[in-house]
């Protein structure tokens, strides 16, 4: 029987009056939804409104059959996102901060487990929650000016949107501990060297171009196979070898019942480009 990787629980965001449509922008074109955090004056700091809006827009992208790939980025040339909005920390205690952190964590789980691939285009500072949202995406591209890190320790707190978990899994426990304990920022080049970002571009324009190139490439791949590959790869984080291999076997065989498999194999054998229908 097919094991499914559950999607994060959906939350009703429309009821929250604090959501501003301007804080996060959305554009869907050529099968690619681009979600842009839009508070450049505040280095795209993640206040409650931004997190709620991001959740709404990631759900929108997941539900739109014309969207095949999602890109997450920040407006301007300074920041992807410089972390949680620190002004919202003031006056909060463990009880009053908890729902906010849960909401952010839920969002990272949603991004990670959604059926479509996501790319973070890191166009500047990706600190704290910014780095954590980037790590929830499947692939990270960065511009050379980008700086990444988990500086929460300098505020007397720790990462709360999965930073102690995903960073360790991406770059190894020793490097993650160094980054979380020191709170230091690292350059895009260093992030690339340790596997935190997949690719570095000379400029922000080149980053945006390279990200769209990848997104459009993925948008043409067979959607069902992409989704199942993503699920199986994600499962490697939480399943043992036997169970994960069993899952891979199940979903591999499932791809043989898709129209895209018939098209892909026929296109190869008749030496033509495949045209996938994502079915
Ligand atoms: N929360 C709220 N506001 C933030 C912010 C954050 N995480 N990061 C940046 N900003 C705001 C600044 O308050 C400033 O606003 P102002 O112009 O109204 O004063 C504006 O963004 C620009 O930041 P500034 O610090 O003046 O720019 P800088 O180039 O000197 O430094 C950073 C940039 C990113 C290194 C610095 O802003 C910083 O360390 N931010 C906090 C990062 C952090 O700790 N994130 C984890 C939070 S848990």
pLDDT digits (tens, 9 = 90+) for 154-179: 999 999 999 999 999 999 999 999 99
The sign of the CA dihedral 143, 144, 150, 153 is: negative
- C-alpha 3/C-alpha 178 separation (Å) is 36
pLDDT per residue over 28-52, tens digit each?
Answer: 999 999 999 999 999 999 999 999 9
Ligand 1: residues with CB < 6 A are 42-43, 45, 82-87, 125, 127-128, 151-152, 155
Residue 171 Cα to ligand 1 midpoint, Å, equals: 25
Residue 148 Cα to ligand 1 midpoint, Å, equals: 13
What does the pLDDT average to over 12-16? 51
Residue 194's Cβ-side half-sphere holds a number of Cα atoms within 13 Å equal to 20
- Superfamily name with CATH number, domain 223-269: Lyase 2-enoyl-coa Hydratase, Chain  A, domain 2 (1.10.12.10)
Residue 97, pLDDT > 80, answer yes
The catalytic residues are 132, 152
- C-alpha 213/C-alpha 211 separation (Å) is 5
| Global pTM value | 0.94
Model confidence at 2, pLDDT cuts 50, 70, 90, reads: very low
Helix, strand or coil for residue 196? coil
Share of the chain above pLDDT 90, in %: 91
CATH 3.90.226.10: which residues of the chain? 24-219
pLDDT per residue over 61-94, tens digit each?
Answer: 999 999 999 999 999 999 999 999 999 999 999 9
- C-alpha 143/C-alpha 26 separation (Å) is 21
Across 116-232, the runs of DSSP E, i.e. the strands, are: 118-122, 125-127, 139-143, 147-149, 186-187, 199-201
Element (H, E) at 21: none
CATH number of 24-219: 3.90.226.10
Which residue of 37, 43, 87 sits with most ligand 1 atoms within 8 Å of its CB, as the best mutation to test the pocket? 43
């Amino acid at each position: 029987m097919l094991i499914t990787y559950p999607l994060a629980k959906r939350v009703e965001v429309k009821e929250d009056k604090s959501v501003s449509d301007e804080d996060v922008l959305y554009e869907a074109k050529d099968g690619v939804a681009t979600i842009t955090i839009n508070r450049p004056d505040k280095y795209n700091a993640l206040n409650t409104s931004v997190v709620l809006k991001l959740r709404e827009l990631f759900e929108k992208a997941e539900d739109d059959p014309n969207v095949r790939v999602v890109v997450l980025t920040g407006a301007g040339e300074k920041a992807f996102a410089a972390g949680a909005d620190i002004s919202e920390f003031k006056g909060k205690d463990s009880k009053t901060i908890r729902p906010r952190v849960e909401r952010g964590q839920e969002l990272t789980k949603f991004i990670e487990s959604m059926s479509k691939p996501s790319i973070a285009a890191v166009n500047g500072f990706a600190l704290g929650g910014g780095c954590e949202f980037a790590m929830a995406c499947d692939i990270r591209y960065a511009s050379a000016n980008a700086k990444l890190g988990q500086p929460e320790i300098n505020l007397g707190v720790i990462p709360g949107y999965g930073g102690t978990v995903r960073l360790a899994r991406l770059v190894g426990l020793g490097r993650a501990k160094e980054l979380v304990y020191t709170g230091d920022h690292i350059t895009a080049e260093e992030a690339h060297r340790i596997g935190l970002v997949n690719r570095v571009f000379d400029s922000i324009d080149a980053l945006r171009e390279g990200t769209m190139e990848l997104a459009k490439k993925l948008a043409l791949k067979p959607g069902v196979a992409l989704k199942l590959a993503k699920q199986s790869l994600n499962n490697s984080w939480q399943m043992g070898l036997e169970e994960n291999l069993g899952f891979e076997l199940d979903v591999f065989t499932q791809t043989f019942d898709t129209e895209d498999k018939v098209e892909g194999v026929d296109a190869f054998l008749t030496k033509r480009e495949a045209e996938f229908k994502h079915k």
